[in-house]
Amino acid sequence: MTRMLNADVNSQQPPPETSPDRSAVVDCALYVDGVRQAGEWDYAEALAEARQHRNAFVWLGLHEPSLAEMAAIAGCYELHELAVEDAVKAQQRPKLEQFGEVSFLALRTARYVAHGELTENSEVVETGQVMLFIGPQFVVSVRHGDACRLSPIRADLESKQELLAQGPWAVAYAVTDRVVDLYLEVSDRIEEDMDTLETQVFSRNTRGRIQRIYQMKRELVEFKRAVVPLQRPLMTLTARVNEEVPEEIRRYFRDVQDHLTRTVEQVNSYDDLLNSILQARLAQVTVEQNNDMRKIASWAAIAAVWTAIAGIYGMNFDVMPETKWTYGYPVVLALMLTISLVLYRWLRRNRWL
């Protein structure tokens, strides 16, 4: 028998971002044979009514619930305390866990953040979480963040009576499908940023692009944390030995798995490409530094001619060549200038200047 949350959780304060006067319940609907029943339902009354029908279930949608409010719902729907704690904290990696007859599916959501130009501080990917409690006659969805809103999913699913008649797992499929579709959209938009970044890095007027590459890599890592771990839960959901998921819904999940595999491949290729771009940019910086050092050394060599000759004649010895000659001074200046010009032309021809 599943363990319930202790009563003392009601005394705990809600998270700072949750107002105690605001209800976390976004929508509560009762479905019978895939058709939404009219009227507004309390989640407890809806569950009791669903148990009176053979092919009925409740979809309770929550947005960033407090621990106290989640505890009350957990008591009614017999949710395990560990899964409830995960749903409130919203810091979970994608996973699928089984608690008796209730499955707990955690998803990381993601959406692309539009920006005019990629900078060192640009936010490219915004992430959030959606967690689903899937029972025999109910599904409780808990959403954190705005990366993936569930209202359009509910409206679209209610227009597909045959699919919705499959029960709570149809909701799980629809939510997972939308989350993965958003992955594909984010991946395609990131590809555009990658092309722009690559063009900028290899342009002739490249300056200070390393910070932008690093920022893009950080955003890609955040996106990768949402996408890659979802592979294992989907493999479990599509397995033939999984008797919890109806066979028809498993077929739908396989299509989601194909889309996820494509996204994972794209993300891995982007990661490799970013590493290559970063290495190329570091190589460019090294070459630029070598060129600068060659230029400095070249001008130092030219200056050394003047320094050497002036240093010799500055020793003030009595017996020195041409010290008493009337044209000695202009001749020495002309000699230093000639040597400098010859040295300059030689260095230019060898591309040191």
309 three-state secondary structure: helix
**Does the CA dihedral 188-189-195-201 come out positive or negative?**
negative
Model pTM score: 0.75
Nearest of 210, 212, 251, 260 to residue 233 by alpha carbon? 260
Q: What is the pLDDT of residues 88-97, one digit of tens each?
A: 987 889 999 9
User: Does position 185 have pLDDT exceeding 60, yes or no?
Assistant: yes
Amino acid letter, 177: D
Torsion of CA 316, 322, 323, 324, to 10 degrees: 160
User: Does position 1 have pLDDT exceeding 50, yes or no?
Assistant: no
- Annotated domain spans of the chain: 7-284, 291-349
The pLDDT score that the predictor gives to residue 91 is 81
Nearest of 216, 217, 253, 224 to residue 238 by alpha carbon? 253
CATH superfamily of 7-284: CorA soluble domain-like (3.30.460.20)
Q: What is the pLDDT of residues 2-55, one digit of tens each?
A: 333 333 333 334 443 444 456 788 999 999 999 999 989 999 999 999 999 889
Distance CA(250)–CA(256), nearest Å, equals 10
Amino acid letter, 206: T
Segment 136-141 mean pLDDT: 94
- How many CB atoms lie under 10 A from the CB of residue 102? 21
User: Beta partners for 132?
Assistant: 105, 141
The pLDDT score that the predictor gives to residue 337 is 87
Distance CA(331)–CA(278), nearest Å, equals 54
Q: How confident is the model at residue 208 (pLDDT cuts 50, 70, 90)?
A: low
The pLDDT score that the predictor gives to residue 322 is 65
User: Does position 276 have pLDDT exceeding 50, yes or no?
Assistant: yes
